[in-house]
A and B are shown apart, each in its own frame.
Chain A
Amino acid sequence: MPPDLEAVAEQVFAALADPSRRAILAALASGGPATATDLAARLPITRQAIAKHLALLADAGLVTAEPGERRRVRYRVRSAPMQVAQQFLAALARDWDRQLGVLRDHLDRAARGPAGTRDPRNPRTAN
């Protein structure tokens, strides 16, 4: 099934819009898989709120639930959906407008030459 990139990106950004969910993801990323109870002990968030956030993160595909000892579910981060969001951001961050402006300035400077005799209106070229 081909992933719907728009839907994936929307879910990832929605999931990351909440500081508690970012804290949960950061805790799982740095500390490895953990149960909701483990996370409640480490974060200033109630266990009930953590369970709600984990359910949303699981819907977004950002965490997966895996069975642990004594039926306690452990959560693990999944980075695949994040890759989609990162690619979206990469497209926004690629600043061709600025880069092409620099190219234009470079060509203009090079055409005026080091002696700067081509454009008497601009005193900076007459060095």
Chain B
Amino acid sequence: MGFPDRIERTVELAHPPEKVWAALTTAEGLAAWFGNEAAIDLRPGGQAWMRWAGEGFTAQMQVERVEEPAVFGFTWHIFGLPEDDPRRTYVEFTLEPAGTGTRLTVVESGFAQLPEDAHRKAYDGNAEGWAKELGELASYLDAA
């Protein structure tokens, strides 16, 4: 199917899995390369957030998998949908030793989910939401 439900990327890093794990799963690590500020409760079901100061944007995450130092998974809000949209994508980082470094794979999945019931209830006839959604869509199209 051409519709992208998942994104998968692999990168080779010249650092051992323990170092990479710390960058992915600690507030200090996340704030250094992902957001500008971060907090994380590192356990399945734990909450985490990252804030981007420039954009004034905060991402809420829920930790799902913690298998140190090999698998870290969390869900977060689907980028581009309204804040109150309940749908989320799942992000999973997999760390494999590769020589003295690490092969890091990230898979984000769930972009194509479309619960049959949720959208009608939440969005039909919501003129205010529409104006916002069209604005966001326009921004995407402009940036593309």
Contacts and interface: CB of A to CB of B under 8 A. Distances in A.
How many residues of B sit at the interface, in one of the four size bands?
35 or more
B19 A107 contact: yes
Nearest to B5: A91
B124 A79 contact: yes
Contacts of B49: none
How many residues of A sit at the interface, in one of the four size bands?
35 or more
Nearest to B126: A79
A83 interface: yes
A94 B78 CA distance: 10
The DSSP consensus for interface residues of chain B is mixed
Interface in B22-40: 23, 32-34
B143 to A, nearest CB: 7
Contacts of A85: 137
B93 to A, nearest CB: 10
A110 interface: yes
Nearest to B78: A90
Nearest to A102: B33
B33 A76 contact: no
B66 interface: no
A30 to B, nearest CB: 6
B123 A83 contact: yes
A121 to B, nearest CB: 15
A96 B124 contact: no
Interface string A77-93: 11110111111111111
Nearest to B107: A96
B114 A83 contact: yes
A78 B124 CA distance: 5
8 contacts: A5-B114, A6-B1, A6-B2, A28-B130, A84-B114, A87-B78, A88-B111, A90-B79
Interface of B: 1-5, 7, 9, 11, 13-15, 19-20, 23, 32-34, 78-81, 89, 104, 106, 108, 111-114, 116, 119-120, 123-127, 129-131, 133-134, 136-137, 140-141, 143-144
